[in-house]
């Protein structure tokens, strides 16, 4: 059995599919993956014996700017990515029995699977990405926000915006494959039975008529890498520090500094993760350490709290470690959703977007560092599953078989 996996995005988009690939291999499948051509992704896939079919431009270079590209540039780059997918996916899927994709950017994938006559599975990493009257669509860079608070209307407008972006390009390629046009690109990509690779304790799917969602649990692998000696020594030298990191995103220049200042003001040591923004604290003192990429699974159980951007993977790992969180959502994709979940579950604090006030920051840290918050976070962490990728792999093998 052969399976092609496909996504386009940062590490948070790629790593869950790596977990699925490893679990599929354990069941005897041969796995390939379409992903961005960044060197770190190539190394990661080579390390688990998965062949990479690179698609599109490197993601890290696209994320290097301090602001988003213009709406016109985003429009062009999105359609160029669709063209690139139609160039690469047909050869990548040759001989495969199934195509599993993650993310709305996989516009070409269902058409390629349809032309090849193989099973297609769309996956989301957060419930907020799938249409439901229980929540609004996530913010999409470069697209206007609807001027209404009604969720059903907002989802209707979202479908119209997706069509305006992709319909002409997609249907042009479908015609060349001898396939009929689609009139709702978003729902075509999502399919009638999408999978939700999210933990049901953190982000359960709200049952919605007309959409048969299969929630498998989040996809991840154990990461037992030991911590670097310098970091271990810092942890051993005092009370648990507060971790501050924004992953692959680039926060406003003052956010990391203000977070560090607030942590210190409340009497805690601090760890700053460089991330893709290459954050660093120029005035680094004995109570502050800047670190590179490390195992969050090994680190988070040893910190007092985790300050982050609201990425699905960071939210999950911090929750599983049983530590409080302070989420500073950068208004991208599912970041605000995970911030709202942390607040709703009372396992930390969520700031209202990336704009901080001194009072809101102080209150957020006091809330997260309170003994009651830690107790709730620890109790919730005990209920989070770690078998989502295995569940998904078995479902796929059974469906193909």
pLDDT of residue 282: 55
Distance CA 78, CA 107 (A): 10
Question: Minimum mean pLDDT among 227-231, 262-266, 327-331, 356-360: which range?
Answer: 356-360
Q: Can you tell me which residue has the tokens 């923004």?
A: 277
Q: Choose among 104, 15, 105, 89: nearest CA to 53.
A: 89
Q: State yes or no: pLDDT of 26 exceeds 90.
A: yes
281 falls in which pLDDT band (50, 70, 90)?
A: low
What integer best gives the mean pLDDT of the chain?
A: 92
pLDDT of residue 257: 82
Question: What is the average pLDDT across 369-374?
Answer: 96
Q: Where are the domains of the chain?
A: 2-221+386-400, 229-381
User: May I ask the CATH class of domain 229-381?
Assistant: alpha beta
pLDDT of residue 139: 84
Structure tokens at 180: 């009929």
Q: State yes or no: pLDDT of 65 exceeds 70.
A: no
Question: What is the average pLDDT across 205-220?
Answer: 95
141 falls in which pLDDT band (50, 70, 90)?
A: confident
Q: State yes or no: pLDDT of 229 exceeds 80.
A: yes
Partnered with residue 179 across adjacent β-strands are none
SS3 374: helix
Burial of residue 252, with CB atoms counted within 10 A of its CB: 0-12 exposed, 13-18 middle, 19 or more buried: middle
Q: State yes or no: pLDDT of 63 exceeds 80.
A: no
Q: Supply angle C-alpha 24, 25, 29, rounded to 5.
A: 80
Question: Minimum mean pLDDT among 50-64, 86-100, 167-181, 336-350: which range?
Answer: 50-64
Structure tokens at 381: 């962490």
Question: What is the average pLDDT across 73-88?
Answer: 93
User: pLDDT, tens digit, for every residue of 88-117?
Assistant: 999 999 999 999 999 989 999 999 999 999
State if pTM tops 0.85: yes
Q: State yes or no: pLDDT of 137 exceeds 90.
A: yes
Residue 266 neighbours by CB under 8 Å, 6+ apart: 365, 366, 369
User: May I ask the CATH class of domain 2-221+386-400?
Assistant: alpha beta
Residue 36 neighbours by CB under 8 Å, 6+ apart: 8, 9, 14, 54, 55, 56, 57, 58, 59
SS3 155: helix
Q: State yes or no: pLDDT of 36 exceeds 80.
A: yes
| DSSP one-letter string for 40-90 | HHHHHHHHTT-EEEE-SS-HHHHT-SSSPPPHHHHHHHHHHHHHHHHHHHH
Distance CA 296, CA 313 (A): 10
């Amino acid at each position: 059995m052969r399976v092609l996996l496909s996504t386009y995005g940062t590490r948070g988009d790629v790593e869950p599919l790596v977990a699925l690939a490893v679990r599929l291999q354990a069941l005897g499948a041969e796995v390939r993956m379409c992903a961005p051509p960044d060197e770190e992704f190539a190394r990661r896939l080579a390390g688990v014996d998965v062949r990479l079919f690179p698609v599109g431009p490197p993601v890290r270079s696209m994320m290097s700017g301090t602001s988003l590209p213009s709406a016109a540039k985003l429009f062009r780059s999105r359609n160029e990515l669709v063209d690139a997918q139609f160039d690469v996916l047909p050869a990548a899927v040759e001989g495969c029995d199934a195509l599993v994709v993650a993310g709305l950017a996989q516009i070409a994938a269902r058409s390629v699977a349809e032309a090849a006559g193989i099973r297609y599975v769309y996956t989301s990493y957060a419930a907020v990405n799938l249409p439901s009257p229980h929540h609004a669509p996530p913010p999409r860079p470069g697209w206007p926000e609807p001027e209404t608070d009604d969720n059903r209307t907002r989802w209707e407008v979202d479908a119209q915006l997706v069509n305006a972006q992709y319909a002409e390009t997609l249907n042009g390629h479908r015609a060349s494959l001898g396939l009929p046009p689609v009139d709702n690109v978003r729902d075509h990509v999502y399919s009638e039975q999408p999978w939700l690779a999210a933990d049901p304790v953190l982000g359960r799917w709200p049952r919605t008529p007309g959409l048969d969602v299969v929630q498998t649990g989040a996809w991840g692998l154990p990461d037992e890498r030991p911590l670097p000696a310098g970091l271990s020594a810092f942890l051993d030298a005092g009370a648990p520090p507060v971790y501050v990191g924004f992953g692959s995103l680039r926060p406003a220049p003052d956010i990391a500094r203000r977070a560090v200042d607030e942590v210190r003001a409340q009497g805690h040591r601090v760890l700053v993760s460089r991330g893709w923004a290459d954050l660093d604290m120029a005035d680094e003192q004995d109570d502050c350490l800047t670190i590179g990429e490390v195992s969050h699974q090994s680190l988070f159980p040893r910190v007092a709290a985790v300050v982050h951007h609201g990425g699905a993977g960071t939210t999950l790992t911090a929750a599983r470690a049983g530590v409080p969180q302070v989420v500073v959502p950068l208004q991208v994709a599912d970041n605000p959703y995970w911030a709202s979940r942390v607040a709703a579950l009372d396992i930390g604090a969520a700031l209202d977007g990336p704009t901080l006030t001194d009072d809101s920051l102080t209150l957020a840290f006091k809330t997260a560092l309170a003994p009651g918050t830690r107790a709730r976070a620890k109790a919730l962490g005990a209920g989070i599953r770690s078998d989502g990728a295995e569940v998904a792999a078995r479902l796929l093998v059974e469906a193909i078989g």
